[in-house]
A and B are shown apart, each in its own frame.
Chain A
Amino acid sequence: MDYAVTVNNISKSFDKTKAVESVSFNVEKGELFGFIGPDGAGKTTLFRMLTTLLLPDGGEAFVDGFDIVKDFKKIRGSVGYMPGRFSLYQDLSVEENLKFFARVFGTTIEANYELIKDIYVFLEPFRKRRAGKLSGGMKQKLALCCALIHKPGVLFLDEPTTGVDPVSRNEFWEMLGKLKEGGITILVSTPYMDEASKCDRIALMQKGKILDIGFLNDIISKYEKPVYALRSGDMHKLILDLRAAENTDSVYSFGDYLHYTDRRGKAVEEDIKKILISKGHTDLVFKQINPGIEDCFMSLMNK
């Protein structure tokens, strides 16, 4: 077993809600693994179990070779965790927070400075500022530094980019790329589908289950139906008309366009166009596109 994280049929319920339902997966050492799914998919619950904050109801899991139930103490010393909510001391300064977490893990900032150097340069000018007074992007960088300061083998980042501006998001993913090169295994969760392309492998999650798992391209290539992007002068009527059409498989709105798939699966362009024109649509744009991760997710969700 050379995996950084091994999970077998792990489950967790809160009262009657099944937050995580027999989930299994492996993460290889040095991999950047993404969990993608909407709010309530069970990503946070899964991460909290793997970081020993929650006890699973069933199944087993190993992080860095340690059992999450029996060896929880060892895991606490060897993983880094960045909760979705900013969880550092707002009334302590940047430096004090970092120093505190370093010392709690029995190390010093100097000893692992190499690891956080690239991120800490951004924070250096605000060293003496209280963490609560930092901007969103800066808070997130500080949280990452604190999660890294003890040189963890596995890093868990729960929705690190939620509520962060696009520029900071990009910066953040670049940092993760660098960390990965340094050999740290990273598990990251996100509700943003477009971030899937930044991960090595991804798991699509929905309602406590993993819908699909693998390389992004593999997941997309499994998707065989042609996808059409449509728009017209009256988008609302377009959705209603397409939903009413007899061979419609799915219609979703994606930005300025609707994504449409047909049950017949073959070239149906002319047929659809005819129907829509007969319904009085003008300025019709109709083109076949390559399916994206969103299309896969929507289709898996409805299976």
Chain B
Amino acid sequence: MRTILVILKKEFLQIFRNRAMIPLIVFMPLFQLLILSNAATYEIKNIKFNVVDLDQSYFSRELVSKFTASNYFILNEASFSVEQSLESFKTYDARLIVYIPKNFERDFRTSGKSEVQFLINAEDASAAGIINNYAVNITRQYNSEIVTKSSVIPEKTSLININHSNWYNPELDYRTYMVPGILVALVTLIGSFLSGMNIVKEKEIGTIEQLNVTPIKKYQFIIGKLLPFWIIGIVELIIGLNLGLYIFGVPLLGSPFLILLLASVYMFVVLGIGLLISTVTHTQQQAMFIAWFFMVLFMLMGGIFTPVESMPDWAQTIAYFNPIAQFNRAMRMIMLKGSQLKDVIPVLNFFIVFAVIIMSLAVWRYRKTE
């Protein structure tokens, strides 16, 4: 125990003496939260669109004005030919063309049916989906307005009205969704990157040679090396949670202690990964590349930025065994849905099993004698 304290003291001395470390620990969470949660958003505003209105009727003009009146669209250009209008797709001026054919209003009045065409620039598929959604919504809304107004087919109409409400994040605020994910990314980075690099540093600089010819036992060294990052990770999470709650106004419906409980077990998983990486590498650079490779994969497939549900089945299966995905889901459950301990027990169990496996593997791989 005394030896562990000696190592801990040395580690903290070194960590806080490292010029890169303090900014990393203090500013990384702040900047990630500030930038990512504000910059990465699913909401698109000020979409430029072109109109090709061949009808030039009361209805067609009113439809276009519904678009311009919304917060989402800005009229870029009105013309009478689709070809001409398509030109501005190439220069990225417009992302949507609303094409209104001749006799738009007349057809509606006579047969109760007419058509509008949307041409959407779908280079960015998810943006295209969102634009389509907005456009369809505006048109549908206008449709129901004219149906009630128009005298043509009043009593026959029986529209199914769909009402929906968004639960747990009623305003679909992207920040509410992102902050828990970013906190997960943060503790994961600290646990795997910093710890792995810290251990490899001893190898790279050669201090491990001196250290190995001391009575320090393997478990003492490993605990002494990992515990500081466990502590830093948890402290970071507490800071991050407070920033999220008080600066970004993200709700915390569940118990913060439940989050800390999960995080404290989760840290063992990521520290184990860091330790394992350190046993198979010799320089900090190697360790960083390997950690980076796995972290990018785990994070992209972890549901932080894109929902796991939109992935193919095989990827969803992998995501099930991805600790980042599990922790991310649990964090959102607790913060936004107010889930209780009983709801996250499977995640907790998964972490315990994962931590035991990866730690045993790493400890087994770590050797003092070659």
Q: Which residues of A contact B (CB under 8 A)?
A: 51-55, 72-73, 76-77, 79, 81, 83, 85-92, 96, 100-101, 103-106, 146
Given A79-B213, A81-B210, A87-B206: A53 and B369 within 8 A (CB)? yes
**Distance in Å: Cβ of B258 to nearest Cβ of chain A:** 38
* Chain B: CB-nearest residue to A69: B369
B10 touches A91 (CB 8 A): no
Given A54-B369, A88-B207, A88-B210: A100 and B6 within 8 A (CB)? yes
Which secondary structure dominates chain A's binding surface? loop
Is B214 part of the contact surface with A, judged by Cβ < 8 Å? yes
**Distance in Å: Cβ of A67 to nearest Cβ of chain B:** 13
**Complex A-B: 5 CB contacts under 8 Å:** A51-B213, A54-B370, A89-B10, A91-B14, A104-B7
Is B3 part of the contact surface with A, judged by Cβ < 8 Å? yes
B213 touches A53 (CB 8 A): yes
Give the chain B neighbours of A81 by CB distance below 8 A: 209-210, 213
Give the chain A neighbours of B17 by CB distance below 8 A: 91-92
Q: Which residues of B contact A (CB under 8 A)?
A: 2-3, 6-7, 10, 13-14, 17-18, 205-216, 368-370
A104 touches B215 (CB 8 A): yes
B212 touches A53 (CB 8 A): yes
Which residue of the partner chain, among B2, B205, B212, B215, contacts A77 with CB atoms under 8 Å?
A: B215
Give the chain A neighbours of B370 by CB distance below 8 A: 53-55
Given A73-B215, A77-B215, A105-B214: A100 and B10 within 8 A (CB)? yes
* Chain A: CB-nearest residue to B210: A87
Which secondary structure dominates chain B's binding surface? helix
Given A104-B3, A146-B210: A91 and B18 within 8 A (CB)? yes
* Chain A: CB-nearest residue to B6: A103
The answer for the CA separation of A89 and B205 in the assembled complex, in Å, is 8
B14 touches A92 (CB 8 A): yes
B369 touches A83 (CB 8 A): no
**Distance in Å: Cβ of B89 to nearest Cβ of chain A:** 57
* Chain A: CB-nearest residue to B214: A104
B214 touches A92 (CB 8 A): no
Give the chain B neighbours of A106 by CB distance below 8 A: 2-3, 215
A76 touches B214 (CB 8 A): yes
B369 touches A72 (CB 8 A): yes
Given A72-B369, A91-B14, A92-B14: A101 and B209 within 8 A (CB)? no
The answer for the CA separation of A76 and B213 in the assembled complex, in Å, is 5
Given A54-B370, A55-B370, A104-B3: A89 and B14 within 8 A (CB)? yes
**Distance in Å: Cβ of B238 to nearest Cβ of chain A:** 27
**Distance in Å: Cβ of A70 to nearest Cβ of chain B:** 12
Give the chain A neighbours of B3 by CB distance below 8 A: 103-104, 106
The answer for the CA separation of A90 and B204 in the assembled complex, in Å, is 12
The answer for the CA separation of A90 and B369 in the assembled complex, in Å, is 24
Which residue of the partner chain, among A53, A55, A76, A87, contacts B215 with CB atoms under 8 Å?
A: A76
The answer for the CA separation of A54 and B209 in the assembled complex, in Å, is 11
The answer for the CA separation of A103 and B211 in the assembled complex, in Å, is 12
Give the chain B neighbours of A92 by CB distance below 8 A: 10, 13-14, 17
